[in-house]
Amino acid sequence: MLIRVKNKDTLLLDDFIFRCAVGKSGTKFNKKEGDFYTPKGTFGIKKLYYRADRIKKPFTKIITKKIKKNMGWCNDSENNRYNSLIKLKSGVRSEKMFRKDNKYDLVLILDYNLKKPIPFKGSAIFIHITKDYKKTAGCVTLKEKDLLILLKLIKKNTKVKIY
């Protein structure tokens, strides 16, 4: 099964067409930390994280974990935990997973630069919720209802191809 992000505002899966948003700068192959591009390529889906205090556990075949208040995603290129889930600590730059807004109520982790992460290549590349389709720092976003539909359809071996 292949999810295709064919342009800056369309995500396709089989017969389903969803509106989406990508990075403010568009898409490119040689993504760098902080450049606002969404990386081009084909990526697996590692896990789904969700806010259990806001959303009941979604039906999906993807490994699913609850987001806790102390969770962050390290985007500090000079830290040995770069591009991985961490416990929030002062002095380590990270993306807070337990947010006040609803963007990370559902977060699919894409397998981009995860195994032996290369510093400054980019981190925290997710598919998450949007309310307004504003361009992102590098993630792909969908409306909550569309992401819930997508979660029902995908499997553990589903890939995401970003053009």
Q: In this structure, are residues 113 and 123 in contact, taking their beta carbons and an 8 Å threshold? A: yes
Alpha carbon 99 to chain centroid distance? 14
pTM for the full predicted model: 0.94
**Amino acid 83: pLDDT:** 97
Domain boundaries, the chain: 2-162
> What distance in Å separates the CA atoms of residue 53 and residue 35, rounded to the nearest whole number?
33
CATH 3.30.559.10 for domain 2-162 = no
Report the chain's terminal Cα–Cα distance, integer Å: 16
> What distance in Å separates the CA atoms of residue 127 and residue 20, rounded to the nearest whole number?
10
Query: Nearest 5°: phi and psi at 149?
Result: -65, -50
**Amino acid 91: pLDDT:** 81
pLDDT in tens, 96-152: 999 999 999 999 999 999 999 999 999 999 999 999 999 999 999 999 999 999 999
The residue among 126, 94, 158, 156 whose CA lies nearest residue 20 is 126
pLDDT in tens, 44-84: 999 999 999 999 999 999 999 999 999 999 999 999 999 99
CA distances from 117 to 46, 78, 79, 112, 133 (A): 15, 11, 11, 9, 29
Residues listed for the chain? 163
**Amino acid 8: pLDDT:** 84
SS3 148: helix
The arithmetic mean of pLDDT across residues 2-13, rounded, is: 93
